[in-house]
Amino acid sequence: MLKIENLIVEYRSKEIGQPVRRAVDGLSLDVQAGEVFGFLGPNGAGKTSTMNVLLGFVNATAGDAYLFGVNVKEPVARQRIGYLPELTYYYKFLTAEEILRFYAGIFRIPRNEVENRIDAVLKLVELDHARKRVIKSYSKGMQQRVGLAQALINNPDLLILDEPTSGLDPIGRMKVREIIQRLRNEGKTVFFSSHELGEVEMVCDRVAILHEGKLRAEGKVSSLVNQHQMNLEQIFLKLVGFQPSPN
Amino acid sequence: MHSLWPLALVVLKELVRRKDFYVLFVLTALLSVLMGSVNFFNTAQIARYLKEICLALIWISSLVIAITTTARQIPAERENRTIFPLLAKPVSRGQVLMGKFLGCWLACGLCLLVFYAFFGVLSIGRSAENNWLLLGQALLLHWAMLGILVAMTLLGSVVFAAPSSNGTICFIVSVGILLLGRHLNKVALQLAEPAQSIIYAVYFAIPHFEIFDVRDLVIHHVGLVPAGPVALAVLYAAAYVAVFLLAARLVFRRQALN
């Protein structure tokens, strides 16, 4: 479903003489169909760079990434994915309905299916009542749910979510979690990054922990907990080398 | 093409929901009507005078609409980060540029239709003479010229980060070409080498917007322009559009998004 092989992402500094910064260093991952996969790491670990390669925003320096067996360099690789960015900004002069119709058009969803899909996703994210309001009048939580709706408009087999609950209130978080769980029950694959380790423990089948661009651990949450004899948060802190202060 | 149409529609919706076009149209209409109502020459030439003023205002407004609408497209996508969910869809950067071009060009066409319809109605009110076919030709050529301008501004929008600097440069360049472009070869003749060759190179490289300007023919009721030269002018515009879009695609293809 999602495969990454020896991925290296480097950024050149614009200033002369500055060294090349390696954001991802030889990362290999394989996400299977139907699983919820948590992609963890502290800020600057290389999560967003990896996602940027998967989504075609950035070209890999070396290595390859595939979605459904198609190299991510091909736009068609993104035909069956849904993506929710960490910060959702959409065309604020459009209504939720219009924005979904726009993205449905990009996916070339047949016209007779579009309205049904829009109805279904707006109901799922509980925005049916506000569908004709322009997005600039939405609260942050509502905008995040529009983001989730656009990620689902093509009925994707794989969802890539970049910190989907970031900045949401507890109710908003719970709703997003519910949606992720519902998608898992429908057999969808979810690949998401998060800083909320409790949340990850709750919804993920497998996790990968990244630090300084390198993969530090990968496996089932229960296996990692058994192997290290500590909870996911403690495992995470140990792997990223966090030293708690003595007092 | 299927992916381009939704992108173009968003540009059109943006134009309809923003106030720029309405403000420019109301200003053009007000100024034209005011000028037309002042019969200070007290001659029969007032109708021609009115047409000249109205067409000049339409040209200025169209330049402003084309440049301001196009200049903000890509920078706004990057600044608002809407480019990310967009490029996460099965659409390439080249298609995004093409869709934006199509939307901006269609938006300009729509504005021109409204402006020229107003011009037609205003002309009828002042004189019985009105060559609607010539007006149609003028609109077509004007629209073709705006195609070049839209493509040029789109190239500017991937080169310059700020829409204001891109807009200012494109406006100065387009007005410069309109006013001075046709005289550059004569200027070159007066100069010594290497300035002569440089000015000649500029003369042959720039798109000559003046060939699309048939305002005098409309004002003085000269007959229709033969179809051949009109077709050649449209092809000339298409060639420049292709060059500018190709350059924009090459720049945008490997550009970092943030």
pLDDT of residue B95: 94
CA-nearest residue to B91 within chain A is A75
Sequence-ordered list of residues with C-beta below 8 angstroms from that of A179, at least 6 positions apart, any chain: A124, A125, A148
Axis crossing angle, helix B227-253 with helix B132-159, rounded to the nearest 10: 20
A21 within 8 A of A6, measured Cβ to Cβ = no
- pTM of this structure: 0.87
CA B80 to chain A, closest CA, distance in angstroms equals 6
The C-alpha atoms of residue B29 and residue B23 are separated, in whole angstroms, by 10
- The residue among A78, A106, A109, A145 with the most chain B CBs within 10 A of its CB, best to mutate, is A106
- CA of residue B132 relative to chain centroid, distance: 21
- The residue among B74, B89, B100 with the most chain A CBs within 10 A of its CB, best to mutate, is B89
Go through B171-181 and write b for each residue having 16 or more CB atoms within 10 A of its CB, e for each that does not: bebbeebbeeb
Q: Side chain identity at B6, as an amino acid letter?
A: P
C-beta atoms of B87 and A88 within 8 A = no
For the record, the structure tokens of B158 come out as: 């991937």
In the sheet where A206-211 sits, what is the strand order?
A81-84, A158-162, A189-193, A36-40, A206-211, A214-220
A3 within 8 A of A29, measured Cβ to Cβ = yes
CA B82 to chain A, closest CA, distance in angstroms equals 5
Q: How far is CA B83 from CA B73, B154, B179, B256, in A?
A: 10, 15, 37, 12
> Total domain count for chain B?
1
pLDDT tens digits, B124-183: 766 656 677 888 899 999 999 999 999 999 999 999 878 888 899 999 999 999 888 888
What stretches in chain A show pLDDT beneath 70?
244-247
Strand segments (E) across chain A: 2-11, 21-31, 36-40, 62-67, 70-71, 81-84, 158-162, 189-193, 206-211, 214-220
The C-alpha atoms of residue A98 and residue A133 are separated, in whole angstroms, by 10
The C-alpha atoms of residue A60 and residue A177 are separated, in whole angstroms, by 31
pLDDT tens digits, B7-47: 999 999 988 888 877 888 888 878 777 766 665 555 556 76
Q: Tell me which residue range forms the domain holding B235.
A: 4-257
pLDDT tens digits, B185-226: 888 888 788 888 898 888 888 999 988 988 888 877 777 888
The C-alpha atoms of residue B234 and residue A151 are separated, in whole angstroms, by 41
CA-nearest residue to A109 within chain B is B2
* Side-chain-side CA neighbours of residue A6 (13 Å): 2
B207 within 8 A of B233, measured Cβ to Cβ = no
pLDDT tens digits, B48-73: 777 788 888 889 989 999 999 999 99
Q: Is A96 helix (H, G, I), strand (E, B) or coil?
A: helix
